[in-house]
């Protein structure tokens, strides 16, 4: 089915792409055996939805009813929602693209006297109609969808009231995961950028990848996008057997990397000069994977635009598949990511920290190593692949099965609480100094090079996903795993604490793990762990580091 959609897309250009994608999605959906759609299908569906949508900057007192009534003069509205990000915005999805065209037809160029406008028209609009303001109600005229996670303190309070660690883990996942509205907004931002890039490359598509679509995205995560020019890449060219044989005259460059750099340089310039709402544009073209980084103010997303990054798209598809196979995968990844962020194991600043992507691969590996395994290895997924799944990108075998129903799963009934505890225990004693984490084989392998942490890139197998991690960051991770295992082994931590004063129950279970840990005093914990396991032993015993000290340590990356 992927091949069918692929052929369809490559043959079509401009608005035909939209119709082709929609048709292919409809057919693929009806073909799906087990209800799980492949990421490729989900993406095509979302892209098509985004092309029928507009983003409108509103007033906080915009009257929803009047607003919708005016907009629906241009056609049927399928879905809309409001949110706040440097002002109030509305995402409006029409049933047909003609309605968007009609709406844009009626929009005017801003009339300002003291400034000049870059005359680039987009689907990012501002509401100027004062009639739509709510005069009766001085408060918000609409309900706004949250686009950020609740503050950690608020989450901690809510989790403290849960009845089991399993509940806490699912609760955390539900509070952190991307909402339907946030996913729509991500695809809409890609679609708006696509309009800019299409001025040069009408056949291109800008697709989200990474945590925006792999199922592991947290509200507020960055928006990774890639400019897909595969349709005009010269790959899979078919020679006509007879008749006129013409080819395009094209400029040549020394390497594919040089082509990527020049495309991103031009598109980056366009985004900077013409892109409404795009600010702080940085062209980082000499990175291993060249990119353009900017902030999209109306959505509040930090965006990374890459090109020719098809291997990353494959790893996104793979993580999506793992997340869809068993609900425990996503729950565990969210919990570990949140735990890691709270303790400064991961950071929003690039550096020697473990990344979210590395952590996710570590969770996948851990789940492959359960007995029986909860998810299959990448090699097993490759063996299950059909001819249409075959994929070789820049010499790397990226083949794996796309039909979820072909994947046999073992019955492993471990609870989330057990898995969380086992995860910490597993990495608290993992032989990092000798072994590499390998999700292709589902078994640790001898390290091919001297580096503190080695996680083999699943598709570019000569690369280490965690090359940036230094010894002290790895040590902190291991120490925190040791302390977390120990905490979870204390029986008094694993049952809800009832009201220790006021109305808030005391911290217990997962909440304990999200509070400052002793870290510095953790070395040699393994020996201590046994003796401390006796009932009544204080978790925050003598010599515990003050929370502020721990956070200073984290801030220093120490």
Helices 15-31, 2-11: axis angle to 10 degrees equals: 170
How would DSSP label each residue in 64-98?
Answer: HHHHHHHHGGGS-EEEEEEEESSSEEEEEEESSHH
> Which DSSP helix (H) or strand (E) runs through 166?
helix 165-176
What is the dihedral sign for C-alpha 300, 302, 305, 310? negative
Opening angle at CA 552, ends 546 and 558, nearest 5: 110
CB of 468 to ligand CTP, least distance (A): 9
**535 CB burial (10 A radius; 0-12, 13-18, 19+):** exposed
How far CA 220 is from CA of 124, 147, 211, 299, 535, in Å, comes to: 21, 7, 10, 10, 40
Residue 221, SS3 per DSSP? coil
The residue within the footprint of ligand CTP, chosen from 214, 260, 299, 518 (CB under 6 A), is 214
Q: How far is the CB of 221 from ligand CTP (least distance, A)?
A: 4
Q: Which of residues 21, 47, 355, 512 is near ligand CTP by CB under 6 A?
A: 355
Asked if residue 222 binds ligand CTP (CB under 6 A), the reply is yes
Q: Are strands 124-126 and 53-58 parallel, antiparallel or unpaired?
A: parallel
Report whether 191 contacts 50 (CB < 8 A): yes
Minimum distance of Mg ion from residue 357's CB (angstroms): 8
Candidates 63, 160, 356, 377; binder of ligand CTP (CB under 6 A) is: 356
Restricting to residues 404-433, name those near ligand CTP by CB under 6 A: none
Which member of 271, 333, 465, 510 binds ligand CTP (CB under 6 A)? 465
What is the per-residue DSSP string for 462-483? TSBTTTT--HHHHHHHHHHHHH
Distance spanning both ends of the chain, measured CA to CA: 49
**Contact range with ligand CTP by CB under 6 A, out of 12-20, 141-149, 168-176, 206-214:** 206-214
| Site mask for ligand CTP (CB under 6 A), range 231-270, x = bound | ----------------------------------------
Write down the least CB distance from residue 541 to ligand CTP, Å. 34
Closest approach of ligand CTP to the CB of residue 477, in Å: 16
User: Which residue in 211, 399, 438, 485 binds ligand CTP (CB under 6 A)?
Assistant: 211
Cα 238 to chain centroid, rounded: 36
The site for ligand CTP, by CB under 6 A, has a size of: 16
* Among 55-63, 71-79, 166-174, 214-222, the segment contacting Mg ion (CB under 5 A): 214-222
Q: Which two tokens stand for residue 74?
A: 């241009």
The Cα 494–Cα 413 span in angstroms is 19
Q: Which of 6, 70, 222, 444 binds Mg ion (CB under 5 A)?
A: 222
**Residue 228 touches Mg ion, criterion: CB under 5 A:** no
Rounded to whole angstroms, the Cα distance separating 336 from 480 reads 11
Which of residues 74 and 186 has its CB atom nearest to ligand CTP in the complex? 186
Q: Is 210 in the site for Mg ion (CB under 5 A)?
A: yes
Tell me the Cα Rg of the chain.
Answer: 26
316 lies in the site for ligand CTP, by CB under 6 A: yes
Residue 35: which residues within 8 A CB-CB, separation 6 or more? Answer: none
522 binds, among Mg ion, ligand CTP, none (CB under 5 to 8 A by kind): none
Least Å from the CB of residue 337 to ligand CTP: 8
CB of 209 to Mg ion, least distance (A): 8
Beta carbon of residue 47, minimum distance to Mg ion (angstroms, whole number): 19
Distance in Å, CB of 306 to ligand CTP, minimum: 8
Part in contact with Mg ion (CB under 5 A); list of ranges 35-43, 204-212, 359-367, 517-525: 204-212
Q: Give residues in contact with ligand CTP (CB under 6 A).
A: 209-211, 214, 217, 221-222, 224, 312, 315-316, 355-357, 457, 465
Q: Give residues in contact with Mg ion (CB under 5 A).
A: 210-211, 222, 224
């Amino acid at each position: 089915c992927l091949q069918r959609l692929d052929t369809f897309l490559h043959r079509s250009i401009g608005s035909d792409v939209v119709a082709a994608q929609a048709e292919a999605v409809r057919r693929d959906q009806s073909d799906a055996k087990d209800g799980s759609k492949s990421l490729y299908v989900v993406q095509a569906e979302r892209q098509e939805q985004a092309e029928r949508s507009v983003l409108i900057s509103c007033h906080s007192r915009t009257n929803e009813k009047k607003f919708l009534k005016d907009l629906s003069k241009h056609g049927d509205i399928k879905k809309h929602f409001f949110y706040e990000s440097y002002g109030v915005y509305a995402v409006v999805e029409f049933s047909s693209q003609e309605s968007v065209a009609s709406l844009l037809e009626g929009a005017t160029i801003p009339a300002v006297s003291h400034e000049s406008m870059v005359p680039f028209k987009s689907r990012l609009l501002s509401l100027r109609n004062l009639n739509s303001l709510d005069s009766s109600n001085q408060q918000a005229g609409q309900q706004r969808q949250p686009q950020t996670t609740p503050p950690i303190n608020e989450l901690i309070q809510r989790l403290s009231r849960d009845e089991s660690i399993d509940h806490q883990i699912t609760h955390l996942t539900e509070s952190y995961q991307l909402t339907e509205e946030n996913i729509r907004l991500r695809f809409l931002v890609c679609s708006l950028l696509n309009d800019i890039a299409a001025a040069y490359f009408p056949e291109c598509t800008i697709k989200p990848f990474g945590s925006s679509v792999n199922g592991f995205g947290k509200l507020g995560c960055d928006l990774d996008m890639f400019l897909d020019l595969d349709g005009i890449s010269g790959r899979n060219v078919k020679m006509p057997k007879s008749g006129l044989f013409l080819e395009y005259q094209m400029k040549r460059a020394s390497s594919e990397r040089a082509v990527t750099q020049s495309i991103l340089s031009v598109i980056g310039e366009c985004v900077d000069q013409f892109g409404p709402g795009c600010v702080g544009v940085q062209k980082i073209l000499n990175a291993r994977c060249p990119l353009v980084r900017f902030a999209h103010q109306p959505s509040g997303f930090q965006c990374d635009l890459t090109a020719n990054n098809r291997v990353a798209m494959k790893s996104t598809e793979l993580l999506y598949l793992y997340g869809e196979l068993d609900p425990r995968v996503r729950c565990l990844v969210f919990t570990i990511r949140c735990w890691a962020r709270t303790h400064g194991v991961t950071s929003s600043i690039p550096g020697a920290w473990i990344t979210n992507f590395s952590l996710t691969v570590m969770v996948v590996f851990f789940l492959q190593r359960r007995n029986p395994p909860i998810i299959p290895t990448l090699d097993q997924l490759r063996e299950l692949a059909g001819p249409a799944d075959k994929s070789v990108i820049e010499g790397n075998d990226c083949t794996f099965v796309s039909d979820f129903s072909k994947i046999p799963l073992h019955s492993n009934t471990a609870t989330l609480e057990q898995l969380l505890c086992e995860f910490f225990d597993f990495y608290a004693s993992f032989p990092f100094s000798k072994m590499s984490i390998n999700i292709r084989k589902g078994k640790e392998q001898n390290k091919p090079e001297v580096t503190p942490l080695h996680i083999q890139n699943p598709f570019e197998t000569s690369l280490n996903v965690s090359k940036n991690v230094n010894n002290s960051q790895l040590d902190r991770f291991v120490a925190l795993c040791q302390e977390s295992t120990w905490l979870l082994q204390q029986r008094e931590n694993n049952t809800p604490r009832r009201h220790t004063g006021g109305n808030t129950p005391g911290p217990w279970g997962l909440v304990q793990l999200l509070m400052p840990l002793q870290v510095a005093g953790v070395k040699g914990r393994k020996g201590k762990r046994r003796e401390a396991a006796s009932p009544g032993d204080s978790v925050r015993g003598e010599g515990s580091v003050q929370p502020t000290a721990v956070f200073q340590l984290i801030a220093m990356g120490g």
